[in-house]
Amino acid sequence: MPTYEYQCTDCGKPYDVFHKSKELIEDIVCPSCGSANAKRLMSIPSIGSSIKSNTTNAAPACEYANTPSCSGNCDMFK
């Protein structure tokens, strides 16, 4: 079941929607304010692995990541 991230354009809260087979407009309702006005956010895929590592080579996220100010159009997504 795919999970999509949305952000309410009325209250600014992000939320996830679990779609069964295809995206239905009635599934996209903000759980905080009940608004149907939302924009779909770019998600980072989740990949599971059984390999464990003691190093952390991940680049730090910018200060606006996962906030209403982030549009996902910066150089970090290219």
pLDDT at 54 over 60: no
The three-state secondary structure class of 13 is coil
Sequence ranges of the domains in the chain? 1-44+59-69
Chain mean pLDDT for the chain? 74
27-51 residue pLDDT tens: 688 999 999 999 988 877 666 666 6
CB 7 within 8 A of CB 43: no
What is the pTM for the complete model shown?
A: 0.51
Looking at residue 3, what is its pLDDT? 80
Cβ-defined contacts of 67-75 (< 8 Å, 24+):
68/7, 68/12, 68/14, 72/41, 72/42
Domain 1-44+59-69 indexed as CATH 2.60.40:
no
